[in-house]
């Protein structure tokens, strides 16, 4: 690869059926290979749940704040690069047992990949540019070939407070 090697964050949903778990394992195996071949600086795997509501008790925890900050960072990257994450980070209403009023929750994807160069977010997968979906596997294929992301970052998006 040319330039600085990227650092990868892989977000995975926990407690999934075998098919999804097998896909997660395949991605982690590929990241292991890329790391061993010095194609990436390294990677981390972050486990998240199915959804998070901004006004929930879970959102006020360190882990909840981390997830909400990352999702906000990913959405800012998408906005800056004219791509969409909407089919992967959906919102829907969930019941609020305390008030009987529905509240909005962000549904998290089964897997998400964030690629950083230093502290700058350079790519998020999956994402959609026009009619073309750029998957995690697409990005790993390009990393293995030493190619840049199919969606070139037009602006630097820095990591929000953890």
How are the residues of the chain apportioned to helix, strand and coil, as percentages rounded to the nearest 5? Answer: 30, 30, 40
Residue 1 in domain: no
Please give the DSSP secondary-structure letter assigned to residue 84: B
Residue 66 in domain: yes
Residue 107 in domain: yes
Q: Where in the sequence is the domain holding 35, given as residue range(s)?
A: 7-14+21-156
pTM for this prediction: 0.85
Residue 162 in domain: no
Residue 112 in domain: yes
Number of structural domains (the chain) is 1
Residue 161 in domain: no
Find out whether 93 and 47 touch, Cβ atoms under 8 Å.
no
Structure tokens, 39: 């194609």
pLDDT tens readout for residues 56-75 = 899 999 999 999 999 999 99
Nearest of 126, 123, 61, 122 to residue 89 by alpha carbon: 126
What is the C-alpha separation between 60 and 96, in angstroms, rounded? 16
Q: Which bin fits 116, alpha (ψ -120 to 50), beta or left (φ > 0)?
A: beta
pLDDT tens readout for residues 130-152 = 999 999 999 999 999 999 998 87
CA 63-40-144 angle, to 5 degrees, is 120
pLDDT tens readout for residues 94-124 = 666 656 677 789 999 999 999 999 999 999 9
Nearest of 18, 32, 60 to residue 144 by alpha carbon: 32
What is the C-alpha separation between 119 and 2, in angstroms, rounded? 18
pLDDT attached to residue 100: 65
Q: Is the pLDDT of residue 158 over 90?
A: no
Nearest of 49, 55, 65 to residue 102 by alpha carbon: 55
């Amino acid at each position: 690869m040319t330039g600085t090697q990227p650092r990868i964050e892989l977000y995975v949903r926990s407690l999934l059926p075998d098919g999804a778990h097998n896909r997660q394992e395949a991605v982690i195996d590929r990241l292991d290979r890329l790391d061993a071949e010095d194609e990436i600086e390294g990677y981390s795997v972050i486990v998240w749940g199915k959804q998070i509501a901004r006004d929930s008790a879970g959102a006020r925890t360190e882990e909840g704040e981390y997830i909400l900050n990352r999702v906000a960072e990913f959405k800012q990257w998408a906005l800056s690069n004219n791509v969409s994450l909407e089919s992967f980070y959906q919102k829907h209403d969930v019941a609020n047992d305390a008030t009987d009023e529905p509240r909005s929750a962000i549904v998290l994807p089964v897997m998400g990949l964030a690629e950083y160069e230093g502290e700058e977010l350079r790519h998020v997968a999956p994402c959609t540019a026009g009619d073309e979906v750029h998957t995690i596997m697409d990005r790993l294929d390009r990393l293995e070939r030493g190619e840049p992301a199919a969606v070139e970052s037009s602006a630097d998006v820095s990591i929000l407070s953890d």
